[in-house]
Structure 1
Amino acid sequence: MNAGQWEPFVDAEPVREHLRQVNAAGMSYRAICERLGFAQDSSLQHLMWGRGEYGPGQQVRRETAELVLSYWPSLGDFPDGARIDATGTRRRIEALAVRGWPRHLMAKQVGMTETHFRKASGRERVTARLARGVTALYDAWWDQDPLEHGVPLGSVSRVRADAARSGFRSALAWDDDTIDDPSAVPQTDAAPAGYTEGENVVARFLMGESVIIDNAGRREVIAHLMEWTQDTPAEIGARLDMTGDTVSRAWERIKRKARDEGRKAPWRRVYVPLRDTDLTRDDMRSAA
């Protein structure tokens, strides 16, 4: 281009490559034409593939190039059935699990069975419809306490424990600019929540809030996690800065105290894998 001289055409290859990337993201060429306001879905024929014996065009109008190169689809642009990268959907589901939201409730909210939801969200690509549903759910629930919405404490604790074992990241690790980006890494240096006081301290501790619990609270946490989760004594101890042996002894004292008071002793109510070698015969008889 000569200085001061307007060039109505530019190199077509960067425009073609950008269109290929948009298409690879899940947008069909027909949908791209619709979003960009092209007259018909064949408008890109000459640019992308050429016509007849003529190959793809070597140049494209500057206005067209600027329009195409400035476009990248938002989630709302994709047709419902478009298959898009699942990274953002997966991260949102995991962040909700860290909060304690069970997947069966997530599935219900997006209009799917839990089995179908797990399979669909576990793939490398998901439909735009599912991605939009999970995004709306995440926006509504990411800072909500499941306990305040009627989700049982036992269910919340199990979901949180599974999320911790799986290394899931909370909503604090992402922002709107990074959560959908496969190349983005979580922000692990976010400031932890400050210590707080007040009511329901044990429940808040189990939810992951940084609260101070006394010895009675520790016993309550041990009783709950040993009875209602698959966590081993060592895993529970890690949460309480205790050894697994200390947790096991506390669990035995809790059961003995219940029997001494004429109450039914608590027992492990969920399937416990063989890795939990601290199970006693008493637990196994009760579970049977």
Structure 2
Amino acid sequence: MQHGEYATYVIQRCRCAECKAASAAYARERYRLQAYGRWQPFADAEAVRIHVLNLRRYISYDAIAALAKVSARSIDLLVYGEGGSTGSARIRTEPARRLLALTIDLDTLPDDTRINVAGSRRRLQALMLRGWPMPLVAARCDVPRWQLDRVLNKAMILRAYQARAIRDVTALLFDQDPPRTNRGERHAASVVRNRARRSGWMPLAAWDDIDDPDAEPDLGATVSRAQAVTEDAEFLARQGFTPDQVAERLQISRGYLQTARARAAASA
């Protein structure tokens, strides 16, 4: 809670000038609404609770309380109630209004806000599926390589500024191939891509809402490897690549490319 809030005046018993002014403003508003017969200090809690539980999928309860400028106690009562098993049936109108107005916008979240790692992890996985090693990704954003490794492997949360950096670098790199100017770079890209494939990681296009922790990937209709190779080869050929260049881009031999085309034609 912050100074200048009515909740700070009541719950923390702060009597600074700002909190006293907030208490006086609250009292004036209450008297005014009472005079007009419109005083409704409480609202039904169910819609607010559902909204807060949805927000909780992305950020912590503490972050929700801080961003909505309500007390953590209000969140506890809303979700768990007095006994810790059933949420409260009513909530004060002003906290309800603030909570319902709260939405998750990564661009406006304070840098240190802790958020769910799901979207950032999926973005890094998609980059690795493209062949991008983490050292090259780290070199292009403001997140150290060791932190990217934690996001990929075991972290459950990360800071908002890190999520923004990962989102921005993904937008920059997702449609580009990593450098492959020498044998070492080609080997590194191949190792990363093979790891991603073995792990079953998904491209960005597989996610309708990549930041939703409960989202399931959707790749559309399943096609055989021969069909996929043939479609990719035809796309590259239309861009002017020679058969040798197509095979190199797809990291296959020309012989396998011919075999894949024959198998795809036979199954058509």
**TM-score range normalised by the length of the shorter chain:** 0.5 to 0.7
- Find the aligned partners of 1:140 and 1:156 in 2 and give their Cα distance: 17
* Mapping for residues 12-161 of structure 1, pairs under 5 Å: 12=45, 14-16=47-49, 18-19=51-52, 22=55, 25-27=58-60, 29=62, 31-32=63-64, 35-36=67-68, 38=69, 42=71, 45=73, 48=76, 59-62=90-93, 64-128=95-159, 129-147=161-179, 152-161=185-194
**Secondary structure, aligned partner of 2:193:** helix
Q: Across the two proteins, how many residue pairs are aligned to each other?
A: 207
Label 1:106 to 1:15 Cα distance change in 2 as closer, same or farther (>3 A): same
Moved more, 139-148 or 74-83: 74-83
Return the match for 1:168 from 180, 201, 206: 201
Moved more, 8-17 or 79-88: 8-17
How far is 1:107 from its partner?
A: 2.2
Return the match for 2:241 from 186, 199, 215: 199
Q: Which amino acid aligns with 2:219?
A: T
Q: Any gaps of 5 or more consecutive residues in structure 2?
A: 1-36, 264-268
TM-score (norm 2): 0.58
Check conservation: 2:243, 2:254, Cα contact below 8 A: no
Label 1:152 to 1:202 Cα distance change in 2 as closer, same or farther (>3 A): farther
How far is 1:147 from its partner?
A: 3.8
Check conservation: 1:101, 1:159, Cα contact below 8 A: yes
- Find the aligned partners of 2:248 and 2:93 in 1 and give their Cα distance: 59
- Find the aligned partners of 1:187 and 1:85 in 2 and give their Cα distance: 21
The structure with the greater share of residues assigned to helix is: 2
Check conservation: 2:58, 2:213, Cα contact below 8 A: no
- Find the aligned partners of 1:218 and 1:57 in 2 and give their Cα distance: 64
| Alignment root-mean-square deviation, CA | 4.3
Q: Percent identity?
A: 28
- Find the aligned partners of 1:58 and 1:97 in 2 and give their Cα distance: 47
Check conservation: 1:10, 1:59, Cα contact below 8 A: yes
How far is 1:112 from its partner?
A: 4.4
Could you report, residue by residue, the CA deviation over 1:231-270 in whole angstroms, capped at 9, with x for unpaired residues? Answer: xxxxxx99x98xxxxxxxxxxxxxxxxxxxxxxxxxxxxx
Check conservation: 1:10, 1:60, Cα contact below 8 A: yes
How far is 1:62 from its partner?
A: 4.4
- Find the aligned partners of 1:167 and 1:57 in 2 and give their Cα distance: 43
